[in-house]
Amino acid sequence: MIAYVTVGADDLAAAKRFYSAVLPALGYGLKEGQDGLSYALPVKPGQSLIPPDFYVKPTFDGKPASAGNCTMVAFEAQSQKQVRELHMAALAAGGFDEGQPGFRAPYGPHFYVGYLRDPQGNKIALFSSDPNEPGRDG
């Protein structure tokens, strides 16, 4: 099980604008500290952690942050409509389009996804694969 994912950011304010336009709608809360931004799903008393947490931090070595080639973080949305709404919100918050929301044939008839780049260039996917929603052939 993946426990957490960390991406680097040279401009934490721009990263906060971008991720805060998307992640709260998916249930993530934000904690800010000197070491960056921490987004986590809520944990009820007595409940064990619900990974993965998502961290946006300055680099540890002090060099500029960079996006990995073929590295992507995917967040599951509740519906195709939410994918579209969050994709637009992320673009308005400083993100860059990497693929408009829509069906992607190789991933099954209900896989609906939009791709983005955050202000640092990290690739983000927002997807829904609810079999109760219309599929690409329906």
Backbone angles phi and psi of 47, in degrees to 5 = -90, 140
Query: What pLDDT, in 10s, does the model give residues 94-137?
Result: 999 999 999 988 888 999 999 999 999 999 999 999 999 988 87
**What pLDDT is recorded for position 36?**
95
Closest CA to 78 of 40, 112, 44: 112
How far is 34 from 30, CA to CA, in rounded Å?
A: 13
| DSSP 8-state code for residue 25 | G
**What pLDDT is recorded for position 138?**
59
Q: Mind listing the domains of the chain with CATH numbers?
A: 4-128 (3.10.180.10)
Question: Quick one: which H or E segment has residue 69?
Answer: none
Backbone angles phi and psi of 80, in degrees to 5 = -65, -40
Backbone angles phi and psi of 87, in degrees to 5 = -60, -45
Query: What pLDDT, in 10s, does the model give residues 22-50?
Result: 999 999 999 998 889 999 998 888 888 77
